[in-house]
Chains A and B, each alone.
Chain A
Amino acid sequence: MSNKLNHSMSLAKPDALNITTKQKIALILGVVGLFILALALFNTNFPNKGLFLTLSLGLIVLGTIVYSREAYLTKLEGIKNDGQWFKSISSRGIWGWILGVILTGFYIVLYFYPKYLGLGQGADGANTGLISLFDPLSQLLSGRNASQWFVYGTLYTIAILAFGYKFILKYRHNRYQQIRTVSVMFFQLGFAFLIPEFMYVMNNDLPYYDLKSIWPLNYYIFDEWSVNGFLSNGNIGLALILFGIISIFVITPILTYKFGKRWYCSWVCGCGGLAETAGDSFRHLSSKKMYAWKLERWLIHLVLVFSVVMTTAMVYTYLGYDKNDFWLTRSVFISLVIGFLTIIFVGVMYFKRQELGKDAKYGAIGFFSVIALLLIMHFTGTTDNVFYVKASSLRSAYGIYIGSIFSGVIGTGFYPILGSRSWCRFGCPMAAILGFQQRLFSKFRITTNGGQCISCGNCSNSCEMGIDVRHYAQKGENIVRSSCVGCGICSAVCPRGVLKLENDSMKGRINPTEVLLGNDVDLMELVNQK
Chain B
Amino acid sequence: MEHIVIIGNGISGVTLARHIRKLSDKKITIVSAETDYFFSRTALMYVYMGHMKFEHTQPYENWFWEKNRINLKKGYVENIHTNSKTLQFADGDTLQYDKLVIATGSKPNKFGWPGQDLEGVMGMYHKQDLDNLEKHAPNKDVCKRAVIVGGGLIGIELAEMLNSRSIPVTFLVRESSFWNGVLPEGESAMINRHIKNHHIDLRLSTNLKEIKSDENGKVKSVIIEETGEELECNVVGLTAGVSPNIDFIKDSAIETGRGVKVNRFLETNIADVYAIGDCAEQHEAIGNRRPIEAVWYTGRMMGETLAQTICGNRIEYKPGHWFNSAKFMDIEYQTYGWVFAKSRENEAHFHWKHQDDTKCITVAYHKDSNEFLGINTFGIRMRHEIFDKWLTEKRDVDYVMNHLSDANFDPEFYSKFENDILSAYNNQLQTA
Chain A interface (Cβ < 8 Å from any Cβ of B): 1-5, 18, 76-79, 81-87, 173-176, 179, 284, 288-290, 447, 449-452, 454-458, 460-461, 470-471, 474, 488, 491-493, 495-497, 500-502, 514-523, 526-527
B55 touches A85 (CB 8 A): no
Which chain A residues lie closer than 8 Å to B413 at the CB level?
Answer: 175-176, 179
Which chain B residues lie closer than 8 Å to A502 at the CB level?
Answer: 412
Choice from B46, B164, B198, B383 contacting A456 with Cβ under 8 Å: B46
Q: Is B40 an interface residue (CB 8 A)?
A: yes
Additional pairs, 5, CB under 8 Å, beyond known A496-B334, A514-B304, A520-B305: A461-B56, A497-B325, A519-B301, A520-B317, A520-B320
CA of A521 to CA of B304 in the docked complex: distance in angstroms? 12
B61 touches A290 (CB 8 A): yes
Choice from B53, B59, B305, B325 contacting A455 with Cβ under 8 Å: B59
A176 touches B59 (CB 8 A): no
Which chain B residues lie closer than 8 Å to A4 at the CB level?
Answer: 50, 53
B325 touches A458 (CB 8 A): no
Which chain A residues lie closer than 8 Å to B326 at the CB level?
Answer: 496
B55 touches A1 (CB 8 A): yes
State the Cβ distance, A210 to closest chain B Cβ, in Å. 27
Interface CB pairs A-B, < 8 A, 14: A82-B164, A87-B50, A174-B411, A176-B411, A450-B323, A450-B384, A458-B43, A458-B51, A493-B51, A496-B334, A497-B332, A516-B304, A519-B318, A523-B308
A519 touches B409 (CB 8 A): no
Mask, B203-223, CB within 8 Å of A = 1, is 000000000000000000000
CA of A515 to CA of B319 in the docked complex: distance in angstroms? 12
CA of A321 to CA of B159 in the docked complex: distance in angstroms? 76
The chain A residue with its CB closest to the CB of B413 is A175
B61 touches A458 (CB 8 A): no
Which chain B residues lie closer than 8 Å to A289 at the CB level?
Answer: 61
B319 touches A461 (CB 8 A): no
State the Cβ distance, A441 to closest chain B Cβ, in Å. 21
Chain B interface (Cβ < 8 Å from any Cβ of A): 11, 19, 22, 40, 42-43, 46-47, 49-59, 61, 63, 134, 164, 166, 197-198, 296-297, 300-301, 304-305, 308, 315-321, 323, 325-327, 329-330, 332, 334, 358, 381-385, 388, 392, 409-415
CA of A236 to CA of B19 in the docked complex: distance in angstroms? 63
CA of A493 to CA of B382 in the docked complex: distance in angstroms? 16
* Contacts A457-B59, A516-B300, A518-B323 given; does A82 touch B381 at CB 8 Å: no
A470 touches B59 (CB 8 A): yes
The chain A residue with its CB closest to the CB of B42 is A454
B381 touches A500 (CB 8 A): yes
* Contacts A452-B334, A456-B40, A497-B332 given; does A461 touch B52 at CB 8 Å: yes
Which chain B residues lie closer than 8 Å to A449 at the CB level?
Answer: 381, 383-385, 409
Choice from B22, B296, B384 contacting A454 with Cβ under 8 Å: B296
CA of A516 to CA of B412 in the docked complex: distance in angstroms? 25
Which chain B residues lie closer than 8 Å to A474 at the CB level?
Answer: 59
B40 touches A76 (CB 8 A): no
CA of A456 to CA of B63 in the docked complex: distance in angstroms? 19
B57 touches A1 (CB 8 A): no
Choice from B164, B304, B330 contacting A523 with Cβ under 8 Å: B304
CA of A43 to CA of B306 in the docked complex: distance in angstroms? 74
A83 touches B56 (CB 8 A): no
CA of A502 to CA of B383 in the docked complex: distance in angstroms? 13
The chain B residue with its CB closest to the CB of A17 is B139
B164 touches A491 (CB 8 A): no
The chain A residue with its CB closest to the CB of B324 is A452
State the Cβ distance, A8 to closest chain B Cβ, in Å. 10
CA of A495 to CA of B156 in the docked complex: distance in angstroms? 14
B321 touches A518 (CB 8 A): yes
Choice from A82, A284, A455, A517 contacting B385 with Cβ under 8 Å: A517
* Contacts A175-B415, A496-B327 given; does A523 touch B61 at CB 8 Å: no
State the Cβ distance, B361 to closest chain A Cβ, in Å. 13
CA of A18 to CA of B301 in the docked complex: distance in angstroms? 43
Which chain B residues lie closer than 8 Å to A76 at the CB level?
Answer: 197-198, 329-330
State the Cβ distance, B287 to closest chain A Cβ, in Å. 13
Which chain A residues lie closer than 8 Å to B51 at the CB level?
Answer: 79, 81-82, 84-85, 458, 461, 493
Which chain B residues lie closer than 8 Å to A174 at the CB level?
Answer: 411, 414
Interface of A is mostly: loop
CA of A523 to CA of B166 in the docked complex: distance in angstroms? 47
Which chain B residues lie closer than 8 Å to A500 at the CB level?
Answer: 381, 409-411
State the Cβ distance, B67 to closest chain A Cβ, in Å. 10
State the Cβ distance, B332 to closest chain A Cβ, in Å. 5
CA of A77 to CA of B134 in the docked complex: distance in angstroms? 26
B57 touches A84 (CB 8 A): no
B411 touches A496 (CB 8 A): no
B308 touches A501 (CB 8 A): no
The chain B residue with its CB closest to the CB of A2 is B54
The chain B residue with its CB closest to the CB of A476 is B384
B383 touches A521 (CB 8 A): no
* Contacts A452-B323, A461-B56 given; does A77 touch B330 at CB 8 Å: yes
The chain A residue with its CB closest to the CB of B323 is A518
B56 touches A460 (CB 8 A): yes
A520 touches B315 (CB 8 A): yes
A84 touches B318 (CB 8 A): no
State the Cβ distance, B301 to closest chain A Cβ, in Å. 4
* Contacts A76-B197, A457-B40, A497-B332 given; does A85 touch B11 at CB 8 Å: no
State the Cβ distance, B16 to closest chain A Cβ, in Å. 12
CA of A153 to CA of B125 in the docked complex: distance in angstroms? 51
Which chain B residues lie closer than 8 Å to A175 at the CB level?
Answer: 411-415
State the Cβ distance, B257 to closest chain A Cβ, in Å. 24
Which chain B residues lie closer than 8 Å to A78 at the CB level?
Answer: 329-330
Q: Which residue, of B51, B385, B388, has the highest number of chain A Cβ atoms within 10 A?
A: B51
State the Cβ distance, B124 to closest chain A Cβ, in Å. 15
B46 touches A458 (CB 8 A): yes
Which chain B residues lie closer than 8 Å to A85 at the CB level?
Answer: 50-53
CA of A523 to CA of B15 in the docked complex: distance in angstroms? 15
B384 touches A452 (CB 8 A): yes
CA of A412 to CA of B289 in the docked complex: distance in angstroms? 53
B50 touches A83 (CB 8 A): yes
B411 touches A451 (CB 8 A): no
* Contacts A83-B49, A519-B305, A523-B305 given; does A457 touch B43 at CB 8 Å: yes
* Contacts A81-B51, A449-B409 given; does A519 touch B320 at CB 8 Å: yes
Which chain A residues lie closer than 8 Å to B415 at the CB level?
Answer: 175
CA of A84 to CA of B48 in the docked complex: distance in angstroms? 11
Which chain A residues lie closer than 8 Å to B11 at the CB level?
Answer: 455
Which chain B residues lie closer than 8 Å to A79 at the CB level?
Answer: 51, 330
Which chain A residues lie closer than 8 Å to B47 at the CB level?
Answer: 2
CA of A491 to CA of B384 in the docked complex: distance in angstroms? 15
The chain A residue with its CB closest to the CB of B381 is A497
Choice from A82, A173, A519 contacting B304 with Cβ under 8 Å: A519
CA of A522 to CA of B410 in the docked complex: distance in angstroms? 30
B320 touches A521 (CB 8 A): yes
State the Cβ distance, A183 to closest chain B Cβ, in Å. 11
Which chain A residues lie closer than 8 Å to B320 at the CB level?
Answer: 517-521
The chain B residue with its CB closest to the CB of A493 is B51
B53 touches A497 (CB 8 A): no
Which chain A residues lie closer than 8 Å to B315 at the CB level?
Answer: 520, 522-523
CA of A85 to CA of B47 in the docked complex: distance in angstroms? 9
Which chain A residues lie closer than 8 Å to B384 at the CB level?
Answer: 449-452, 517-518
B53 touches A2 (CB 8 A): yes
CA of A449 to CA of B63 in the docked complex: distance in angstroms? 28
Which chain A residues lie closer than 8 Å to B301 at the CB level?
Answer: 516, 518-520
Which chain B residues lie closer than 8 Å to A81 at the CB level?
Answer: 49-51
The chain B residue with its CB closest to the CB of A180 is B413
State the Cβ distance, A431 to closest chain B Cβ, in Å. 21
A497 touches B40 (CB 8 A): no
CA of A514 to CA of B321 in the docked complex: distance in angstroms? 18
